[in-house]
Amino acid sequence: MIENINEILKKNQLSVTDSRRKILEMFQHTSGALAHADIEKQSGTLFDRVTIYRTLQTFVEKGIIHTIPTIDNSVKYALCKDACQAGHHHDNHVHFMCDECGTTYCLNNISIPQVQLPEGFRSTQTDVVVSGICKNCND
């Protein structure tokens, strides 16, 4: 179910611009995660590289998207679900990265068991990165 894009932008006190609408749309139309390069490729020469960087940065600050840790250390972003909309959130994510095709899937409906930390450590966020072969590449 796709939320109204203009609503989301206004709710976050952001001016409604072409680039923001288009990029937000891309996230809503993908089940997985997007890298800066993916967005640049998909949008062609529509907007500047710098605009994409700044848009992603703004979205992260507003809590619309979040960055995903990856083993190959490429920077990927995914839409935040309602649960983590509050900007600075205490939240958990499970992501699956395919070793073969590189696609990143968000496995939001999987619960993470709490990790027991040593004395003196306080956790605000836990990310689980599962690597392997995805459904598509397995067939």
Of 82 and 139, nearer to its own copies (C-beta) is: 139
Site string for its own copies, 109-128 (x = CB under 8 A): -x-xx-xxxxxxxxxxxxxx
Angle (CA) 90-96-99 rounded to 5° is: 140
Contact with DNA (CB under 7 A): which of 14, 26, 94, 129?
Answer: 14
Contact with its own copies (CB under 8 A): which of 52, 65, 79, 134?
Answer: 134
Question: For residues 5 and 29, is the Cβ–Cβ distance under 8 A?
Answer: no
Contact with its own copies (CB under 8 A): which of 16, 37, 71, 83?
Answer: 71
Please report where in the chains the tokens 């966020």 appear, as a residue. 125
28-67 positions binding DNA, by CB under 7 A: 36-37, 46-51, 53-55, 57-58
- 3-state SS class at 45: coil
Residue 54's binding partner out of DNA, its own copies, none, with CB under 5 to 8 Å set by partner kind: DNA
Size of the site for its own copies (CB under 8 A): 40
DSSP state of 68: E
- 3-state SS class at 42: helix
Question: For residues 27 and 21, is the Cβ–Cβ distance under 8 A?
Answer: no
Query: CB-based contacts of 36: which residues, under 8 Å, 6+ apart?
Result: 52, 53, 56, 75
User: What is the contact surface with its own copies in residues (CB under 8 A)?
Assistant: 67-75, 94, 96, 99, 105, 107, 110, 112-113, 115-135, 138-139
User: What is the contact surface with DNA in residues (CB under 7 A)?
Assistant: 9-10, 14-20, 36-37, 46-51, 53-55, 57-58, 73, 75
